[in-house]
Structure 1
Amino acid sequence: MTVNDTLVAFALIVAIVTLLVALLAYWEFGRIRQLREELEAFQADLRQRFFRSQKAQQRIIASYGVADPAQKIALLQSAIDADPDSFNAYNALGYAHLAQRDAHSAAAAFKEATIRHPDAKEGYFDLAEAYRQLGRIDLCKAALEQACKRDPTAKDDLLADSRFQGL
């Protein structure tokens, strides 16, 4: 192999590497553009979720000042419609039903709270209270057991809660 052959081979290798780098850069540019579009879509979705959450929380907070249980339930239902996963929406709805002495509807709302937020002990305590008012002590105990299973601090809350003493 002569010096001339070596230089030709070297030039050919440089040309191939340059072509590969150019192709890789083109592919990466397309991927970066796709990632940017995905990020923009994610940001828009996040803004919408945040807005819905704020809207729901505002309605939940507003419901605390409403004396009429039917109006309170309607306001809380509109909060749930705005953001079904809003924390405390179903709990507040359950208490509004309890204020109307409708423990069955309250239990359904509290049950949904435990489904939406399974690690939140509050939903289980509220569900236990609805079951206690319905006279379903077996279901009351089961809800309290779930609260303690999901959150170890629930045991202390249970001992301090006079509604569940003697169960």
Structure 2
Amino acid sequence: MEQKQIFMAFFRVGMLGFGGGPAAIPLVQKEVVDTYKWMDADEFSDILALGNALPGPIATKLAGYIGFRVGGIWGMVNGVLATIVPTIIMMIVLLASLNAFRDQGWVKGMSTAVVPVVGVMLLTMTIDFIKKSSKSSLGWIWTIVFIIAGLVLMEVLQVHPAILIFALLIGALLKRDAKDRGKET
């Protein structure tokens, strides 16, 4: 039963995650946190942050890790296959079909209409992450500082997001290590 749930969760993500990894992230979160309750939202946020720092498509990384965590090696294989097989099949079918009708207005309109929907999904997830950050030990001031610093570093200075995430992870580890050493004395 568990393997079937892993397959169905990531198959739905693979079928509905139109627009790539960023569009799939809210869908994975909905399946993993809300539908099957394999982890809470904070754990998902941590896995997402770490997954974004690693190379490769985020949906398959999430499927592999979560599948492994829930169902072991077979859960990992199951989750990854459930994520990529629908995409492969749909790409072959849709691209062949769209290529045949690429000059039609409805095809151009359909492709254009998807972009704002994905943007809204990402905005909703971003707002949820901001709320969670502000309620954590960071508080609103540090949350706003990190948002502004992240925006400046990524958009103005063109720092890759993985570098920023890695630096924040190292900073959090060093801060925790310093706090632990302070408790020992």
TM-score strictly above 0.5: no
State the TM-score, normalizing by the size of structure 2: 0.25
Q: Which has the higher contact order (CA 8 A, sep 6+)?
A: 2
Structure index of larger Rg: 1
Question: TM-score w.r.t. structure 1 length?
Answer: 0.27
